[in-house]
């Protein structure tokens, strides 16, 4: 029962879509109504409100970290095994992708995944972030950088598992997060293959990319 409660609470935490929440606080249009229609920091940035985008990024990352860190801290007291904590890690990520509070219209999960990985192990999150930054520096494409980092994250987790740094349940959770994140980027993959994906710092390409005034 305790494990189920941990999973449910993690999912509810993940369902807090900070792109929508922050946009409402700042009086901005719903990020699901313009641009990529993705409730994430990149789309919020298209409104021109950098602070709102930063708060969205921090909020989405923080919820992933907090949900997993709390589960790890309380697991022993409530008799929850490592596998239960790993399921909570997946649940907070799924909550971001399909938030119950926002008609199951969630984001792609890059910031939340980073928060989860940092909570699983700081080095796992840091190395994955470094991979994203290196890819972004080389190719200047956010989605491609996310796909590359997501592809490498299970390899890093596997190496840490082999060395006894993290448990097998956390390795499996990392692999599942990567699969889900890549799946959520399927439209970006199509754009990348067609040469239509926007680059970091590139202005929106058409009227549909701009938020309603």
How many residues does the structure list for the chain?
213
To the nearest whole percent, how much of the chain has pLDDT over 70?
Answer: 94
Q: Which residues of 140-161 are buried (b: 16+ CB within 10 A; e: fewer)?
A: ebbbbbbbbbbebbbebbeebb
165 backbone dihedrals φ, ψ, rounded to 5°: -80, -40
The count of other CB atoms within 10 Å of the CB of residue 190 is: 11
Q: d(Cα 9, Cα 71) in Å, to the nearest integer?
A: 9
Query: In the chain, which stretches have pLDDT less than 50?
Result: 204, 207
Query: For the segment 130-186, what is each residue's pLDDT rounded down to a tens digit?
Result: 999 999 999 999 999 999 999 999 999 999 999 999 999 999 999 999 999 999 999
Domain residues of the chain, as ranges? 2-200
Tokens for 163, please give them.
């060395």
Whole-angstrom CA distances from 20 to 4, 25, 97, 147, 168 are 27, 9, 13, 24, 35
**pTM, full prediction:** 0.94
Contacting residues for 172 by C-beta, under 8 A, at least 6 apart: 86
């Amino acid at each position: 029962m305790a494990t189920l409660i941990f999973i449910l609470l993690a999912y509810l935490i993940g369902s807090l879509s900070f792109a929508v929440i922050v946009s409402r606080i700042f009086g901005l249009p719903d990020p699901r109504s313009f641009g990529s229609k993705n409730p994430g920091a990149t789309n919020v940035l298209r409104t021109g409100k950098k602070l709102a985008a930063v708060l969205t990024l921090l909020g989405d990352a923080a919820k992933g970290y907090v949900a997993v860190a709390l589960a790890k801290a309380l697991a022993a007291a409530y008799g929850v095994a490592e596998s239960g904590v790993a399921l909570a890690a997946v649940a907070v990520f799924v909550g971001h992708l399909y938030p119950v509070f926002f008609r199951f219209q969630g984001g792609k999960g890059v910031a939340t995944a980073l928060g989860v990985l940092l909570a699983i192990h700081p080095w796992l999150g840091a190395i994955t972030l470094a991979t994203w930054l290196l890819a972004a520096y080389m190719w200047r494409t956010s989605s491609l950088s996310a796909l590359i980092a997501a592809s490498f994250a299970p390899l890093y987790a596997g190496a840490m598992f082999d060395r006894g740094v993290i448990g097998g349940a956390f390795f499996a959770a990392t692999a599942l997060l990567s699969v889900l994140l890549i799946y959520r980027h399927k439209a970006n993959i199509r754009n990348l293959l067609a040469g239509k994906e926007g680059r970091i710092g590139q202005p929106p390409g058409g009227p549909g990319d701009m938020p309603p005034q």
